[in-house]
Structure 1
Amino acid sequence: MKLRAIAAFLLRLSLVTPLMAAEPREVLRLDTWEFLPAAPLPAADQLPTEDAAEHLSDEAAWQEVKLPHAFRQQALADDQAAWYRRSIEVDDLHRRHLLHVEGAGSVSDIYVNGQRVGRHRGAFTAAVYDLSPSLKPGTNHVAIRVSNGDAEANNCLSHSTLFVTSGGLFRPVWWIETGPVSFEPFMGSSGLFLTGKNIEADSADLEIKAHVRNTLDHPVELLARSIVTGPDGDLVAELNVTSSLPAGATQPLVGKVAIAHPQRWAPGHPRLYQVTTTLLVDGQEMDRVSESTGLRTVAIDDGRFLINGEELLVRGVNKHQQTELEWNAIPEQELVHEWDLLEDMGVNTVRLAHYPHRRFEYHEADRRGIAIWAENGLAGQLWQHEVTRDSGEREPSADGDRITREMVFQNWNHPSIIFWSSGNETYERVAAHYADIIRENDTSRLVTYASAHTDRPDTVDFIAGNTYQGWYSDHFTGFRELPRNRYVSETGAGTWPSQHIPQNEARWKVNEFEPMEYGNLFTEYRLETVFRSQKEEHKMYLWWNFREFYDRKFKNNRNTKGMITLAGTPKDVYYLHKAFFRPDLPILHIASRDHFYRWFAPNNGTKVFSNADWVELRINGKLAGRQQNGDYRQPAEVYPKDWQGDPATIHNVFFWNTPLDPGKNILEVTDSRGETDRTVVYQWTATEAENPWISDLRSSNPDNKAHFIDRPIAAQAPFYYMVDGSADNTFDDLPTSLEGASWIATKRLSDPTMKTDLSFTLKKDATVMIMHSTGTFPAMVLRQPDPATVAEADALSGELSHLGFTRSPAPARWRGHDLWLADATVWSRPSKAGDTIKIPGHTLDSVILLKE
Structure 2
Amino acid sequence: MRKTISMDKGWFFHLGDVAIDEAPDKCFAYRTAHTPRVLWGPASPGYDCRAEHWGNNGRPTTERWYPVDLPHDYLIEQEPKPENNASLGYFKYENAWYAKYFRVDPADENARITLLFDGVAAEADVYLNGTKLFHNSCAYTPFEVDITDFVFFDKDNKLAVYVQSGPFHQSWWYEGAGIYRHVWMRVTDTVAVDLWGVFAAPQKKTETLWDTEISTDLRNDGFSPRTVSLRSTVYDGEREVASVLTEGIPVPRKGKVSVMQSVEVENPALWELDAPHLYTVHTAVIEDGKAIDETDTTFGFRTLEYKPTGLYLNGKKIKINGVCSHQDFGLTGRAMPDNICRHKARLIKEMGANAYRTSHYPHTEAQMDAFDREGIMVMDETRFFESTRDGIEQLQTLIRRDRNHPCVIMWSMGNEEEYFTFPQGRKIFQTMYAAVKELDTTRPVTAAQSHDPFATQIFDICDIIGVNYNIEHMEKLHELYPDKCIYSSENCATYSARAGVVATRKGYLPDIYDQDTNLWFRGRQNSAKVISGIDWIAGGFQWIAIDHRGECNWPRLSSFSGAIDLYYQKKDAFYLNQSFWKSEPMLHLFPHMNLSGHEGEIISFWVYTNCDEVELYLDGKSLGRKTCERFSHCEWQVEYRAGSMRAVGYIDGKKVAEDAHETTKKAARLKLRLENADDIRANGQDVALFTCYCEDEDGRFVPDAEPTVHFECNYIGTLVGTGAVATDHTPPACPDRRLFAGLCSVAVKLTETEGKLTLYATADGLAPARLSVEVKK
Of 237, 253, 256, the residue aligned with 2:262 is 256
CA shift digits 1:636-663 (9 cap, x unpaired): xxxxxxxxxxxxx4467333334332xx
Aligned to 1:771: 708
Aligned to 1:655: 635
- Name the CA distance, whole Å, in 1 between partners of 2:205 and 2:599: 61
Cα 1:554–1:668 shift into 2, 3 Å: farther
Cα 1:294–1:447 shift into 2, 3 Å: same
AA paired with 1:249? Answer: G
Cα 1:435–1:249 shift into 2, 3 Å: closer
Q: CA deviation at 1:69?
A: 0.9
Is the Cα contact below 8 Å between 2:601 and 2:640 reproduced in 1? yes
Aligned to 2:608: 609
Aligned to 2:771: none
Is the Cα contact below 8 Å between 1:41 and 1:149 reproduced in 2? no
Aligned to 1:122: 138
Aligned to 1:524: 525
CA shift digits 1:344-386 (9 cap, x unpaired): 22322111110011122222222222211000013xxxxxxxx
Which of structures 1 and 2 has the bigger CA Rg? 1
- Name the CA distance, whole Å, in 2 between partners of 1:770 and 1:270: 43
Give the SS at the match of 1:289.
strand
- Name the CA distance, whole Å, in 2 between partners of 1:307 and 1:169: 37
- Name the CA distance, whole Å, in 2 between partners of 1:499 and 1:658: 16
Aligned to 2:347: 341
Cα 1:578–1:712 shift into 2, 3 Å: farther
Q: What are the within-5 Å matches in structure 2 for residues 48-197 of structure 1?
A: 50=38, 52-58=43-49, 59=51, 60=53, 61-73=64-76, 75=78, 77-92=92-107, 93-150=109-166, 159-160=170-171, 162-185=172-195, 189=196, 191-197=197-203
Aligned to 1:790: none
Is 1:422 paired with 2:420?
A: no
Aligned to 2:727: 818
Q: CA deviation at 1:324?
A: 0.9
Is 1:397 paired with 2:385?
A: no
Q: Name the TM-score, length of structure 2 as normaliser.
A: 0.74
Is the Cα contact below 8 Å between 2:302 and 2:406 reproduced in 1? yes
Q: CA deviation at 1:269?
A: 4.2
- Name the CA distance, whole Å, in 2 between partners of 1:508 and 1:303: 43
Q: Percent identity?
A: 20
AA paired with 2:145? Answer: Y
Cα 1:482–1:660 shift into 2, 3 Å: farther
Is 1:29 paired with 2:6?
A: yes
Q: Name the TM-score, length of structure 1 as normaliser.
A: 0.68
AA paired with 1:71? Answer: Y
Aligned to 2:582: 582
Q: What are the within-5 Å matches in structure 2 for residues 497-508 of structure 1?
A: 497=498
Q: CA deviation at 1:497?
A: 3.3
- Name the CA distance, whole Å, in 1 between partners of 2:498 and 2:260: 56
Q: CA deviation at 1:31?
A: 1.9
Of 262, 275, 284, the residue aligned with 2:281 is 275
CA shift digits 1:297-345 (9 cap, x unpaired): 4333225333344433211111211011211110011111111112222
Q: How many residues align?
A: 649
Q: CA deviation at 1:235?
A: 2.2
CA shift digits 1:190-218 (9 cap, x unpaired): x2222234644332221222222233443
- Name the CA distance, whole Å, in 1 between partners of 2:10 and 2:735: 30
Which stretches in structure 1 are left out of the alignment for 5+ residues?
1-23, 43-47, 379-392, 470-477, 633-648, 683-690, 692-707, 717-731, 747-768, 774-809, 828-846
Please, what is the CA RMSD of the aligned residues? Answer: 4.0
Is 1:666 paired with 2:644?
A: yes
Which stretches in structure 2 are left out of the alignment for 5+ residues?
20-35, 54-63, 79-90, 479-484, 517-521, 675-689, 711-718, 739-762, 769-777
Of 220, 226, 229, the residue aligned with 1:223 is 229
Is 1:572 paired with 2:572?
A: yes
- Name the CA distance, whole Å, in 1 between partners of 2:306 and 2:496: 35
Q: CA deviation at 1:128?
A: 1.8
- Name the CA distance, whole Å, in 1 between partners of 2:447 and 2:223: 47
Give the SS at the match of 1:404.
helix
Cα 1:305–1:146 shift into 2, 3 Å: farther
- Name the CA distance, whole Å, in 2 between partners of 1:253 and 1:36: 43
- Name the CA distance, whole Å, in 2 between partners of 1:135 and 1:812: 37
CA shift digits 1:722-748 (9 cap, x unpaired): xxxxxxxxxx954899997998989xx
- Name the CA distance, whole Å, in 2 between partners of 1:508 and 1:313: 36
AA paired with 2:622? Answer: A
Aligned to 1:443: 441
AA paired with 1:253? Answer: V
Aligned to 1:599: 598
Range moving further from structure 2, 217-226 or 519-528? 519-528
Is the Cα contact below 8 Å between 2:324 and 2:490 reproduced in 1? yes
AA paired with 1:72? Answer: L
Q: CA deviation at 1:575?
A: 0.9
Range moving further from structure 2, 515-524 or 316-325? 515-524
- Name the CA distance, whole Å, in 2 between partners of 1:650 and 1:199: 40
AA paired with 1:541? Answer: G
CA shift digits 1:367-423 (9 cap, x unpaired): 222211000013xxxxxxxxxxxxxx7x64221111111111111211211110010
Cα 1:120–1:41 shift into 2, 3 Å: farther
Q: CA deviation at 1:581?
A: 1.1
